[in-house]
Structure 1
Amino acid sequence: MVLEYLGRPVAYDRLLALLDIGPIGAPRRNILRLSRLQFDVTYREATLAILATYLRAGHPVIVFVDTGELSYWSVTTNHALVVIGLNREHVLVNDPAFAHAPQRIVHAEFELAWLNGDNTCAIIQGTSDQAIDLQWLSVS
């Protein structure tokens, strides 16, 4: 999702191999391997305020969550979501497991799911780092 958004799509099979994704997934830190494809990758702990800062700069943010805390999921697993917007009540995410986007998650639910993912996130930027305006994704 994010790589396509940056205008640099990578074939799914190539991503699986690069990130060493097996039948039960991969360690979150494997996202750093995208630097081998000339992406700048930041992996860190964050807060909602930090996510908002990245979003205002035009950078979607990948967050790592426990789906058992998300009301729209029926199974519990570790998972990655792409945060594309925030408002007073909801965090807006693109979830690769669902066709409908964005999913709207109330803050408390999101924060609990994200807490179980150690409040970690990843920001991927092209090496030229041309931020793209995400304002149209925000919901008032």
Structure 2
Amino acid sequence: EVIEGADNFKMISSGNLDSRYTPIELSDAFLERWAQIKLIYPDKEGTIDILMSRAAGLDEKMATLITELIFDFRNILASYKKDMGLRGAVEVCQASLASKQSLRKLIEVYMLNPKSTYESDQTLYKKLMERVNKRIKG
């Protein structure tokens, strides 16, 4: 069966197609049928803006701290061929407004081991927590 799209019909899909993110390899034929656009993460100012817009009431100092951690984590994770998106950081910011948990614990839960990816590698986990402890005193 063929489904015909209306005039100017466009289909947009997103995915982590790089081998660093998925063990599933897509065929060349499939990839040739799609225009691939690499999206990059925003700079620090853009990241702060996103965090503050997604967590109403978050102060800029907290958004800046979390942003600095994201960039710290990305530097560490690059050598492991891993990445750090914004979802966990947004969750930390949102939870920090309503939770009695320490910020350190929220970062651990939402940013470091949301999928147990980093927790299973104790060396990497330790490096990431060292950055947290360096930025968050007390």
The higher relative CO (CA closer than 8 Å, separation ≥ 6) is in: 1
Higher percent of residues as helix: 2
Q: State the TM-score, normalized to the length of structure 2.
A: 0.30
Higher percent of residues as strand: 1
Q: Which structure's CA Rg is the greater one?
A: 2
Q: State the TM-score, normalized to the length of structure 1.
A: 0.30
